[in-house]
Chain A
Amino acid sequence: MMTEMGALTQPSRWQKIWDSLSILWQSKVAVAGLILVLFWTLTAIFAPVVTQHEPNVEDAQARNEGPSAGHWLGTDHKGRDLWSRVAYGGRIVLVKWPVTESFWIPGGVAIWGVLIALAVGCTLGLLSGYYGGWVGEVVMRILDAMMAFPTILLYLIIIAAMGASATNVVIAITIAGSPGIARLVRGLALDIRTRDYIAAAETRGEPGLWMMFLEVLPNARGPIIIDAMLRVGYAIFSIGTLGFLGLGLPPPNPDWGSMVQAGHHHIFTNPWGVVWPTVAISSLVVGLSLLADGLREESLRYQ
């Protein structure tokens, strides 16, 4: 019998990947966001290629200059090239995380912070959302208490207590981010666990870890990915704030927040030292938000 047999051919793997990306092209907002994010990511990765000067070389002859052919974005109060500093400044948030002074791993501080927060938050959220019971209640109340702190205050306390280093910033992002993620995942898990396929897995006697990470989590991925994108944006913002307050990543490596901090003393003689890192931070954060919003809109439209 031919019942319900469609004659679809199987698309290739590349076709599938392209199809899932095509959702992105549908939204102008998402494309605009993607362009901004890709611009900063590529700039940070290829910083040595796209800049003419070393970021930390001081040129005493050219202090507080405006944009020119020699210095595309101008120079700061010590005569360092601003384009070069902005480009290299993106590296630590997006491209490399110096775990210790001599050892670094790919992926920036903001990205790793959010990834670790995701791991912690998802686990806690799944535990309390899927299992529930008093353990779940206790976990959620503790996380609620943590969320009651203003985020920036939490960052300040953690960095002030542990010292300013890239690794400590990652830890701070993790601690500040995981309660929110846990709450989101818990909500999703509470909904998903009522579906029939969860009951079907339970009647197969699947173990708890399988239930949480293979039956529940994959079906919560949409909102989690979008939330994570927004969180990377917030993390970049927070790193900027910490840098401005002098608690960010240690000098002399360029860091957008510290650049604003250093530049704002000379803002009336040379506004460029403040303008460019500010533009960098805000355009990257806006780009991530646009990307997340566009994706959210498109994925909702498909449901």
Chain B
Amino acid sequence: MSTELEWITEVDDHRIKTPVLQVEDVAISYETRKGDVPAVRDVSFDILRGEAHSIVGESGCGKSTVAFGIVNFLGRNGRIVNGRILFQGQDLVGRPQEELRRIRGDRIAMVYQDPMQALNPSMRLGDQMSEVLIVHRGMEKKAAEEKCLEMLNRVYMPDAANVMRRYPHQISGGQQQRVVIAMALLNDPALLIMDEPTTALDVTVEAVVLDLIAELQRVFDTAIMYISHNLGVVARVSTKVGVMYAGEIVERATVKDVYLRPYHPYTQGLMRCVPRLGMDKRSSFLYPIPGRVPSPANLPPGCVFEPRCDYSREECRLKRPALRAIEPRHWVRCHFAEEVAQMGWEPPEEVLADLATPAEFDRTAEPILKVSRAKTYYEAPSKKLLSREKLYVKAVDDVSIEVIKGETLGIVGESGCGKSTLVKTVIGMEKPTAGEFEFMGVDISTPVSKRDLSIIRELQMVFQNPDSTLNPSFTVGMQIGRALRRFKTVPKDHVRAEVMRLLNMMKLGELYYDRLPRQLSGGEKQRVGIARAIAARPELVLCDEPVSALDVSVQAAVLNLLMEIQAELGTTMIFIAHDLSVVRFFCDHIAVMYLGQIAEIGLAEAIYSPPYHPYTEALLSAVPIPDPSVEQKSIRLSGNVPSALNPPSGCRFHTRCPRKLGDVCETAAPPCQHMTDEHRIHCHIPLEELREMEMVVSIAG
């Protein structure tokens, strides 16, 4: 940090902080055909100058609605029905459109999730940035451009002058988000609203953007309202946090207080169902919150959390609790918060009954799946009109893995590093270019259409997106039944009974047999997807990010379900995820992939402690951890994953490696160094040196 920055932070601490935004008892409703739906009720909070205040909650709890309410962007059918929104002392509610627009443009800025949608694809970045100043400040073009260049430099945009002349698609996603943030700061806003600004980014890029946000807050003295569903991200960027549930703020305090001493049963539940980096399935459990978030059209009369609360009483059912200060600067919306805090928490019996003991597997057994020197290339259309030369996207390039029966192999890496392609090649949706694929002693280097039905049924897959994993035209029962009929798992007249058994096993119940996918929630759809995959009782289930699209409380339940299936059926699994805490929790072996190759592979605990591959080290230091007491080394990678069309020579990671040795990394492919039989690291750095690395994540005493 420069001396100038330190000076500003210091002054900041002595300055009297004034609230920039005060939200008081705001309620927002959406008008629908079935009447008004109260999406947000009784929300109050304030944000001081230079403070980052987060709003955290699961999807559909009204986080974004609050933000849209502040900038009056609710759409035609939404309106603020109650409360005041004071921005720098002025009430924004009920002001004429024109005035609001001016305030919004001049002093409130907003950053959205997808930078590509915030930038105009047909304008050069310099032009669209300077337009802000020309329109709002009436600046001359020349002066505006200079100011923009200065701002880009302040957000550490590499090669800023050049970026000004480019179009949005010519820079990477992380850089796009940086441009959007720079643009938001151009008018020197008093309030910056960020709605999930890093959700679409890879964890390494996310870490860099989060660092930037934290620094901007100090330097610019801007009030930041940060909306996120990710507890880890919130812990990293903000000082205060409000936890939202079903349209209400249920708890609000400093990050430390909320994360380490939560009072509200919902907050406590959330903390119990996210895996912390380092937890694993053999030493700890995830406790999902039972039930589901009530729909805003059909809220319980008393406390909104009452139906799912372990401590619920008569009074909770009848009377709505108010948000009250339980300690100085710690507000909670619960009748019995003090008692709850004292009582401690024991998992209720029905939850305990569902916790599966993880399956054991024989580490010396013969592998069930052997992939050696696998290559999957896609042909890329040549850019030259007449060139005969063929270009290939080397999605998977020389990968060897072995999976032992009954274990779970995790595959991690940034997007575009070939995780999904590898799995799709194994299951036969992509044709391998080279390499040997052996599954249960049978060669499976053929596409699925040429495989024998008996092999097809042993290899099934669970998909990422709950909204597209089920065919919207067929009922749940028909979709699971189809897999049973196709593979003749049970005789024809037993299909219905078997589907019912599977539905019960998924904890869905028989009522779900006749439901259509659109009547199910995300977690329920994912359960049906899992039931369909295991219906044929396959040996190997490939899970391609099965929980990344789910809310944390649902994610815990689905992970527990997968563990239970594994314990019961002895299924082998390959588990792809980008969340390193989930992979660490769930998997026995882990492979770290980078740009189509394996960087490091080994037992889960070996991957998460030194020696590390430099890439693993960087990934681990980028993971946002939902625990403010954890110390984490800060290693940041620059740029994005290079194109697989033309991967870097030598070690593919050398362009971004913070521990690059020298020319050897650029010229020679890294050797495979064996730490133990199972743990291999592909790196030029000698093992002795790798061994001396420090732990990336450590819990402060």
Contacts and interface: CB of A to CB of B under 8 A. Distances in A.
Interface of A: 1-6, 8, 10, 26, 195-197, 199-206, 215, 218-219, 221
Contact of B472 (A3, A26, A206, A219): A219
B472 A200 contact: no
Interface string B314-345: 00000000000000000000000000000000
Interface in B274-291: 288, 290-291
A200 B473 CA distance: 15
Interface string B505-519: 001110100110001
A5 to B, nearest CB: 6
B451 to A, nearest CB: 7
B290 A2 contact: yes
Contacts, number: 86
B102 interface: no
A204 B290 contact: no
A203 B33 contact: no
Contacts of A199: 429, 461, 463
Interface string B448-484: 1101010010011101110011111110000000110
A10 B350 CA distance: 26
Contacts of B253: none
Given A1-B507, A5-B509, A219-B472, A203 B350 contact: no
Given A1-B507, A196-B469, A205-B453, 19 more contacts: A1-B354, A2-B350, A3-B288, A3-B523, A4-B508, A4-B523, A5-B509, A8-B515, A197-B468, A197-B470, A200-B469, A200-B532, A203-B448, A203-B460, A204-B483, A205-B448, A215-B471, A219-B472, A219-B473
Interface in B282-315: 288, 290-292
Contacts of B292: 3-4, 6
B46 interface: no
A218 B479 CA distance: 14
Interface in B180-211: none
Nearest to A194: B468
A123 B534 CA distance: 33
Given A200-B469, A200-B532, A2 B291 contact: yes
Interface residues of B, number: 49
B174 interface: no
A203 B541 CA distance: 11
28 contacts: A1-B290, A1-B350, A1-B351, A1-B557, A2-B291, A3-B288, A3-B291, A3-B507, A3-B523, A4-B292, A4-B521, A5-B511, A8-B515, A10-B514, A199-B429, A199-B461, A200-B463, A200-B469, A200-B532, A201-B471, A202-B429, A203-B428, A204-B456, A205-B451, A205-B453, A218-B471, A219-B471, A219-B472
B25 interface: no
B471 A203 contact: no
Contacts of A4: 291-292, 508, 521, 523-524, 554
Nearest to B295: A6
B376 to A, nearest CB: 16
Interface of B: 33, 288, 290-292, 350-351, 353-354, 427-429, 448-449, 451, 453, 456, 459-461, 463-465, 468-474, 482-483, 486-487, 507-509, 511, 514-515, 519, 521, 523-524, 529, 532-533, 554, 557
Contacts of A5: 507-509, 511
A8 B554 CA distance: 20
Contacts of A10: 511, 514
A195 B465 CA distance: 9
A201, A204, A215: most-surrounded residue (chain B CB, <10 A)? A204
Contact of B557 (A3, A196, A202, A219): A3
B562 to A, nearest CB: 14
Nearest to A5: B509
B486 A206 contact: yes
Contacts of A219: 471-473
Nearest to A217: B473
Contact of B456 (A200, A203, A218, A221): A203
A17 B612 CA distance: 61
Contacts of A200: 461, 463, 469, 529, 532-533
A205 B471 contact: no
A199 B464 CA distance: 11
A195 B470 CA distance: 9
A206 B485 CA distance: 11
A1 B356 CA distance: 13
Nearest to B462: A200
Contacts of B474: 218
Contacts of B473: 218-219, 221
B199 to A, nearest CB: 20
Contacts of B554: 4
Nearest to B453: A205
Nearest to A218: B473
A1 B553 CA distance: 14
Closest 7 CB pairs of A and B: A218-B473, A196-B463, A195-B468, A205-B456, A197-B471, A196-B468, A196-B469
A115 B353 CA distance: 56
A200 B424 CA distance: 11
A38 B222 CA distance: 63
A93 B529 CA distance: 46
A205 B449 contact: yes
Contacts of A195: 468
B353, B354, B463, B523: most-surrounded residue (chain A CB, <10 A)? B463
Nearest to B455: A205
A217 to B, nearest CB: 9
Nearest to B514: A10
A197 B519 CA distance: 17
B54 to A, nearest CB: 27
A217 B586 CA distance: 38
A2 B523 CA distance: 13
A192 B464 CA distance: 16
Contacts of B557: 1, 3
B290, B473, B514, B524: most-surrounded residue (chain A CB, <10 A)? B473
B304 to A, nearest CB: 17
Contacts of A197: 468-471
Contact of B290 (A3, A6, A203): A3
Contacts of B533: 200
A43 B261 CA distance: 75
Contact of B511 (A3, A8, A205): A8
Contacts of A8: 511, 515, 519
Contacts of B351: 1
Given A1-B507, A3-B507, A202 B448 contact: yes
Contacts of B511: 5, 8, 10
A222 to B, nearest CB: 10
Nearest to B428: A203
A206 B292 CA distance: 35
B563 to A, nearest CB: 14
B526 to A, nearest CB: 10
Contacts of A201: 471
Contacts of B532: 200
A4 B353 CA distance: 17
Contacts of B486: 204-206
Contacts of A1: 290, 350-351, 353-354, 507, 557
